[in-house]
Amino acid sequence: MNRISFLVVGLCLTMLIATGCYYDKADIIYPAPVCDTSHAITLSGDINNILSANCYSCHGGTADNGGGIPLDQYDVLKAYADNGILMSAITHDGGAQNMPKDAPKLSDCDIAKFRIWIDSGALDN
């Protein structure tokens, strides 16, 4: 191998390694959306939004397809939070009917927010 081809091969290898590193770090450069539970999780700031997006179509307002459980009424929601059925329903642990009914499980992030809110006393905050 003469000096030029040695340099060319060397340069190619360097570029290959450099690009390899670049792609390896793509998940650091473009991280998946993080689950932000660093702030205080509240009913008004977090839980209501999740319920509204996933549950009120059956459990809110005038909906009558939620088994007669109006989760938009705080005392009803609080009762299901305190007796463990709400958490069982969204974690699909077998202790309750799986919710949301006939739909995919909530994201781990949403479930984590419910857990924090319930463990903090399921306050009307």
The residue ranges that bind ligand HEC (CB under 6 A) are 54-55, 57-59, 65-67, 69, 80, 85-86, 89-90, 96-97, 99-103, 106
CB of 50 to ligand HEC, least distance (A): 7
Looking at this protein, which amino acid is placed at residue 70? P
CB of 83 to ligand HEC, least distance (A): 9
Q: How far apart are CA 30 and CA 8, in angstroms?
A: 32
The token pair at 49 is 């939004």
> Which residue's CB is nearer to ligand HEC, number 37 or number 111?
111
CB of 16 to ligand HEC, least distance (A): 48
> Which residue's CB is nearer to ligand HEC, number 98 or number 125?
98
CB-CB contact of 58 with 101 (8 Å): yes
> Which residue's CB is nearer to ligand HEC, number 2 or number 62?
62
Phi and psi of 93, rounded to 5°?
Answer: -90, 5
CB-CB contact of 74 with 86 (8 Å): no
